Amino acid sequence: MNDNNNNKHPNPALLERFLSVQEKELVMRGKELEIQQQNENNAHEYAKASLQANKEDRELLVDEVIIANLS
């Protein structure tokens, strides 16, 4: 084994660059997670609104059937 490799210190500029890239990746991942969470919230709100609209439509349909049967 070569002892020179064990005593070598990493290039400080390279280490700084690596850490900078890691930081940017973490920030980007955080933003991706925020967007994903917002998309999930939007999908949930849309689903609730859709279910409410379906419920109201069915209630109107039931009312129309009752009125038609009374006539």
pLDDT tens digits for the chain (71 residues)?
455 556 688 899 999 999 999 999 999 999 999 999 999 999 999 999 999 999 999 999 998 989 988 88
Domain membership flag for residue 1: no
Q: Measure CA 39 to chain center.
A: 5
Say how far apart CA 52 and CA 62 lie, in whole Å: 15
Domain membership flag for residue 39: yes
Domain membership flag for residue 2: no
SS3 11: coil
Domain membership flag for residue 3: no
The parent domain of residue 35 ranges over 11-70
Query: 10's torsion region: left (phi>0), alpha (psi -120 to 50) or beta?
Result: beta
Domain membership flag for residue 6: no
Single pTM value for the model: 0.63
Check residue 18 and give its pLDDT.
Answer: 97
Domain membership flag for residue 58: yes
Residues recorded for the chain: 71
Check residue 6 and give its pLDDT.
Answer: 61
Domain membership flag for residue 45: yes
Check residue 5 and give its pLDDT.
Answer: 59
Domain membership flag for residue 5: no
Say how far apart CA 13 and CA 3 lie, in whole Å: 23
